[in-house]
Amino acid sequence: MTDIIHLLPDSVANQIAAGEVILRPASAVKELLENAIDAGATEINLILKDAGKTLIHIVDNGSGMSESDARMSFERHATSKIKQANDLFAIRTLGFRGEALASIAAIAQVEMRTRRHDDELGTLVEVEGSKVKNQANCSCPAGTSIMVKNLFYNVPARRSFLKTETAELKHITDEFFRVALIYNDVRFTLHHNQKLLYQVLSSNRKQRIVSLFGSGYNERLVPVEHISEAISITGFIGKPEFARKSRGEQFFFVNGRFIRHPYLNHSIENAYRELIPVDSLPSYFIFIDTDPATIDINIHPTKTEVNFLDSKVIYAVIRSAVRQALGLSNLLDSINFDVERSFEYQSPGTEHPIKNPFDFPKSDFNPFEKTGPDKNPQGLPWEKPSIKGWENLYDNNNVQFDQPQKNDDLFGDISFPDDSAEKEKTNVFQFRNRFIISSIKSGLVLIDQQRAYERIVYEQYLDRINQSQQVVQQELFPCQVSFSLSDAELIDEIMAELNVLGFHLNKLGKNTFVVSGTPSGIEETDLQSLFESFLENYKKNLIELDLDKSTNLARSLAGSLSVRSARKLYTEEMGHLIDELFSCKVPDRTPDGRKIFAIIPEEQVNQWLNR
């Protein structure tokens, strides 16, 4: 028997390799754009016909190639970018596999014109299905121009898999954006079927985003920055109110390369949790720069996947940087929040402490306690909480609150503070038992009472569960609650956490429990309906969200309790509620992302009154 193994001819090997690297016109565009960037181009023009199926033409003013390099560039594994295996761990260029041109030339008709800036004559190379058809000197501008015609002309199966022109063009613009976003000092144009679709000049990063995605982005973006020796994370994130239901502009770049990274994407979505509705997605443009030795980009031919040496640390750093940016943008943008410099925290991995305006010490205010004006839940006189930042919102010198007559018809539903109220809190009042209005430096703040309760209770319960600190009050008359069998099982499952929260339940029968204690502050007479609504929330969250047990519990309970919170508040209670709200970690959104307060700027008030 004769031997049967033989080496494949280059043209076949290249075609097989092309199957991995060049999946559609957009993949060829990506490779060619990257080559132009690697060649140091400052201007790149991309011209397409029929979404790249008939023609992809890319012209750059980069380094250009010598005659023999021009010829060599079409060989498989021919590259100028790495020499030895070790170089793989120090990659600063976009290409390095030496596969792209060989692959493209295996499945298309390619015409390359290239000239180095110091050479007088350039080189023309024509290749078709891996075969060199022509090589000659030519006169051409410095840089490189590559025309790729009739992609997949010799792989009909692949060609027939291509989608509609609109879909393929979308893939191409996606690739174009990914490169144009990082290389903001490079000028780009994109023409399709002789129409100019994009033209961007050299600009800063924010301007580049705005010029690609539209001027609306100017006000939507918040800068993110975390710079340490090991890693730098910069870029922009979308303000929560602009989050959309579709997976919109989400970009990670590592060392100048667009990557997909579901795990890091999760870190950002996690940072936005509670700031945006559950079914919305944030937009982000995050640029990570790190030592190439700490990443592995060689895991897939298209190089959009990256392994980090320590992705957990990067996860934490990104999450913290994003939360930092969000915290600052939400409040500081809208309120003149004079926070003292002493509130600082160290984000993981930073040498420089970052100011966190919301990291206040906690007090144990319980908003569900019905207390008189001079009693707190423990029956002691009110003590001002040890939270200082919030008071700075007030401009006591400017606000003179003249107390009108209580029966003044003009003021209908607005309830005014008691005469006995503490003087400095008198610029707070309640409206329809649902809203609290207060004067702040920049105007007025309008707080949704129920939502504020929900946020405060949620954070308190979460703290309690996490620190396992029980605050129980014994029920005078233990009461009985019954559930469906499956709900009773659910209660069994979360019994330990319920206990920590302060619910003391004992099982009576299969689906009946005796409640002998509730968390301090719950003045609930109808425990059956409280449990039912709580379980309903809990189950809903279980199905729709990926929450851990404690978060879900705190959130569901806070939701059920807040519904019962509409009532008249005394001035001190309002003041206390405001203090508590602004000492929350996320004071401006409910756990499921609804807005808690709105600011009415003083200028607006002036405008309304034509002042």
Residues making contact with Mg ion (CB under 5 A): 35, 95, 100
For Cα atoms 350, 353, 354, give the angle at the middle one, nearest 5 degrees: 100
Can you tell me which of 96, 253, 365, 570 binds ligand ADP, judged by CB under 6 A? 96
Torsion angle of the four alpha carbons 251, 256, 258, 260, in this order, in degrees rounded to the nearest 10: -80
* Distance of closest approach, residue 180 Cβ to Mg ion, in angstroms: 17
Give the pairing type, strands 284-290 and 250-254.
Answer: parallel
* By the rule CB under 6 A, 39 interacts with ligand ADP: yes
- Dihedral sign, CA of 422, 426, 430, 435? negative
* Residues 6+ away with beta carbon under 8 Å from 428: 417, 436, 437, 438, 571, 574, 575, 578
Considering only the stretches 73-81, 226-234, 272-280, 577-585, report the one whose residues sit in contact with ligand ADP under the rule CB under 6 A. 73-81
- Binders in 537-596 for ligand ADP, by CB under 6 A: none
Can you tell me the distance from the alpha carbon of 433 to that of 211, in angstroms, rounded to the nearest whole number? Answer: 47
Nearer to Mg ion, 100 or 243 (CB): 100
Nearer to ligand ADP, 73 or 571 (CB): 73
CB atoms within 10 A of CB 563: 12
The pair of structure tokens assigned to 157 is 């199966």
* Residue of 481, 415, 445 whose CA lies nearest to 578: 445
Nearer to Mg ion, 80 or 482 (CB): 80
CB atoms within 10 A of CB 502: 19
Q: Is 107 helix (H, G, I), strand (E, B) or coil?
A: coil
Which residue's Cβ has the minimum distance to Mg ion? 95
Can you tell me which of 63, 371, 551, 552 binds ligand ADP, judged by CB under 6 A? 63
Q: Which residues are registered as beta bridge partners of 345?
A: 354
Q: Which of Mg ion, ligand ADP, none binds 572 (CB below 5-8 Å, type-dependent)?
A: none
Can you tell me the distance from the alpha carbon of 98 to that of 92, in angstroms, rounded to the nearest whole number? Answer: 15
Torsion angle of the four alpha carbons 213, 196, 108, 36, in this order, in degrees rounded to the nearest 10: -60
Can you tell me the distance from the alpha carbon of 248 to that of 237, in angstroms, rounded to the nearest whole number? Answer: 12
Can you tell me the distance from the alpha carbon of 138 to that of 121, in angstroms, rounded to the nearest whole number? Answer: 6
The pair of structure tokens assigned to 461 is 């319960």
* Distance of closest approach, residue 202 Cβ to ligand ADP, in angstroms: 19
* By the rule CB under 6 A, 97 interacts with ligand ADP: yes
Contact mark string toward ligand ADP, 141..180, x via CB under 6 A: ---x------------------------------------
* Distance of closest approach, residue 81 Cβ to Mg ion, in angstroms: 8
Can you tell me which of 11, 19, 71, 98 binds ligand ADP, judged by CB under 6 A? 98
Q: Which of ligand ADP, Mg ion, none binds 112 (CB below 5-8 Å, type-dependent)?
A: none
Q: Is 310 helix (H, G, I), strand (E, B) or coil?
A: coil
- Dihedral sign, CA of 534, 276, 367, 585? positive
Which residue, chain included where needed, has tokens 């199957």?
Answer: 19
* Distance of closest approach, residue 36 Cβ to ligand ADP, in angstroms: 5
Can you tell me the distance from the alpha carbon of 545 to that of 335, in angstroms, rounded to the nearest whole number? Answer: 31
Tell me if 188 sits within 8 A of 45, measured CB to CB: yes
Largest CA distance in the chain: 112
- Amino acid at site 536: E
Q: Which of ligand ADP, Mg ion, none binds 465 (CB below 5-8 Å, type-dependent)?
A: none
* Distance of closest approach, residue 454 Cβ to Mg ion, in angstroms: 53
Tell me if 84 sits within 8 A of 125, measured CB to CB: no
Can you tell me the distance from the alpha carbon of 118 to that of 137, in angstroms, rounded to the nearest whole number? Answer: 15
* Distance of closest approach, residue 124 Cβ to ligand ADP, in angstroms: 14
Can you tell me which of 80, 150, 203, 433 binds ligand ADP, judged by CB under 6 A? 80
Contact mark string toward ligand ADP, 476..515, x via CB under 6 A: ----------------------------------------
Nearer to ligand ADP, 75 or 289 (CB): 75
Can you tell me which of 33, 45, 60, 527 binds ligand ADP, judged by CB under 6 A? 60
For residue 447, give the H/E element and its range: strand 443-448
Environment class of residue 243 by beta-carbon count within 10 Å: exposed (0-12), middle (13-18) or buried (19+)? buried
The pair of structure tokens assigned to 597 is 């307060």
* Residue of 153, 154, 130 whose CA lies nearest to 14: 130
Nearer to ligand ADP, 95 or 282 (CB): 95
Considering only the stretches 28-36, 177-185, 217-225, 531-539, report the one whose residues sit in contact with ligand ADP under the rule CB under 6 A. 28-36
Nearer to ligand ADP, 61 or 439 (CB): 61
Nearer to ligand ADP, 128 or 497 (CB): 128
Which residue's Cβ has the minimum distance to ligand ADP? 95
Q: Which of Mg ion, ligand ADP, none binds 144 (CB below 5-8 Å, type-dependent)?
A: ligand ADP
Can you tell me which of 45, 61, 73, 324 binds ligand ADP, judged by CB under 6 A? 73
Considering only the stretches 3-11, 72-80, 212-220, 322-330, report the one whose residues sit in contact with ligand ADP under the rule CB under 6 A. 72-80
* By the rule CB under 6 A, 108 interacts with ligand ADP: no
* Distance of closest approach, residue 103 Cβ to ligand ADP, in angstroms: 8
Nearer to ligand ADP, 60 or 448 (CB): 60
The pair of structure tokens assigned to 69 is 């390099």
Nearer to ligand ADP, 32 or 339 (CB): 32
Q: Which of ligand ADP, Mg ion, none binds 80 (CB below 5-8 Å, type-dependent)?
A: ligand ADP
Q: Which of ligand ADP, Mg ion, none binds 530 (CB below 5-8 Å, type-dependent)?
A: none
Which chain residues interact with ligand ADP by CB under 6 A?
31, 35-36, 39, 60, 62-65, 73, 78-81, 95-102, 144
